[in-house]
Amino acid sequence: MKKILSLAFCSALALAAVQGPARAADPIEIGVIANLTGSAVKTSVQMTRGVELAADAINAAGGIDGRPVKLIVEDSENRAQEALNAANKLYNVDKVPAAIMFGGSGLMIPVAELAKEKGRVLVNTSSSSPKLGNYPGTLFSILPLDDIVGKELGLLMADSGAKTAAIVVPNSTFGLGVAEAAAAAFEAKGGKIVKKVAFTEGQPDYRADIQPVVPAKPDVIITAGYGDDSRAMLKAARELGLTAKWYAAYPSILEIENKDFLDGKLFGVDNGGYSQPAGKAVADKYGAKFNGTADLMAHVYYGYDALMVVAAAIKKAGSAEPAAIAKALPDVVKAYDGATGKIAWDARGQRIAPPIDVIEYKAGDFVTTATRN
């Protein structure tokens, strides 16, 4: 058995060693870390597809200075240790200069620590924890922090004339972060929060969670969340007869459970994508490659922009060395008009002042009704 083990391990090492250091004509390898198993799989896959579309676009245009981009996709299983395993493999064995990652802060922060230690680049497409600002020069976020989006959401609610609101969010950093910022902005404009529900994700049914919201009779409901949990949550709300309007951060990542229930009653803010020409182009490519845009979520745009800015940085720096990429990144984004609109970073590499799209769900489609830059 010892023999078999050491054999397996050695062959793994040998396999990795074959890949060796990069030469000029070699492809540039970029890592992708996403939850391909475990939970939040759909959004992760959407992000990965976005990166793939970007890679297709780059390679179709002849690559970066003649070198094609090659993606190495690793699964994080939505567990910190597996995310670290994945990042360790990408940074230490595949020696990728940069990795694009989908995952909550619980996974993103350990990987950011490792990236910092190894002097590599990590591009965040999903996590919005304020702690991510602690890795300047290592971690760059395509997604803006929750407080920005949350505040815009709160203002939008107040503008609609709503007086009372209930909060129904998952008890994650994302859900609570959005809810807090939105509630603060809403209350500053004279609104009142009448009920707050923070549910644990991963439960099959949320009827008992939504139940207490019904007697509170709010005008609007602040929500955030994605995937199967959002679908189950909306189903419970519909069955319990909630008639309030919904205000969501990134409404496209909600899984719409019943079109009629939410038609004309779901609003929200997102940054870029829907109204930008670059976003439309990505959506078209998505439709061509993945059989239509029915399941398209905003994460496609984040993934797409993530790889695009990394590629632009490599091109500008004339080198795929991580330090050069990190140095070039803040410069190239200034000139980049991407699927999620213009990207502006603060000194920590966190996205600020994103263009905000105001979105309404009408007749089964997310319609951008206004854009604030």
Shortest distance, CB of residue 222 to other proteins, whole angstroms? 18
Question: 217: helix, coil or strand?
Answer: coil
Reduced to 3 DSSP states, what percent helix, strand and coil does the chain have, rounded to the nearest 5? 45, 20, 30
Q: Which of residues 8-67 bind other proteins (CB under 8 A)?
A: 8-9, 12-13, 15-17, 36-39, 41-42
Using the rule CB under 8 A, which residue among 66, 161, 190, 241 binds other proteins?
241
From residue 87 to residue 126, the character string flagging contacts with other proteins as x (rule: CB under 8 A) and all else as - is -xx--xx----------xxxx-xx--x---xx--------
Shortest distance, CB of residue 223 to other proteins, whole angstroms? 16
Kindly indicate which of the ranges 168-176, 262-270, 279-287, 363-371 contains the residues binding other proteins, using the contact rule CB under 8 A: 168-176
Shortest distance, CB of residue 139 to other proteins, whole angstroms? 14
**Looking at beta carbons only, is 109 or 339 nearer to other proteins?**
109
Question: 369: helix, coil or strand?
Answer: strand
Using the rule CB under 8 A, which residue among 102, 135, 199, 267 binds other proteins?
199
**Looking at beta carbons only, is 69 or 359 nearer to other proteins?**
69
Using the rule CB under 8 A, which residue among 131, 189, 192, 280 binds other proteins?
131
| Residue in this structure with the two tokens 């993530």, named with its chain if needed | 306
How close are the terminal C-alpha atoms of the chain, in Å? 63
Separation of alpha carbons 19 and 59, rounded Å: 21
Return the DSSP state at 90: I
Separation of alpha carbons 106 and 83, rounded Å: 10
Q: Residue 303: CB partners within 8 Å, gap ≥ 6?
A: 46, 47, 48, 49, 50, 51, 52, 53, 54, 100, 102, 125
Using the rule CB under 8 A, which residue among 208, 288, 352, 367 binds other proteins?
208
Using the rule CB under 8 A, which residue among 65, 160, 189, 240 binds other proteins?
240
Contact 106, 89 (CB under 8 A): no
Shortest distance, CB of residue 370 to other proteins, whole angstroms? 32
Q: Is 224 in the site for other proteins (CB under 8 A)?
A: no
DSSP 91-146: IIIS--SEEEE---HHHHHHHHHHHHHHT-EEEESS---GGGGG-TTTEEESSBPH
Using the rule CB under 8 A, which residue among 211, 217, 321, 364 binds other proteins?
211
Closest CA to 255 of 291, 229, 223: 229
Return the DSSP state at 89: I
Q: Is 164 in the site for other proteins (CB under 8 A)?
A: no
**Looking at beta carbons only, is 208 or 335 nearer to other proteins?**
208
Residues lying near other proteins in the complex (CB under 8 A) are found at 1-2, 5, 8-9, 12-13, 15-17, 36-39, 41-42, 72-75, 77-82, 84-86, 88-89, 92-93, 104-107, 109-110, 113, 117-118, 129, 131, 170-173, 197-209, 211-212, 227-228, 231-232, 239-241
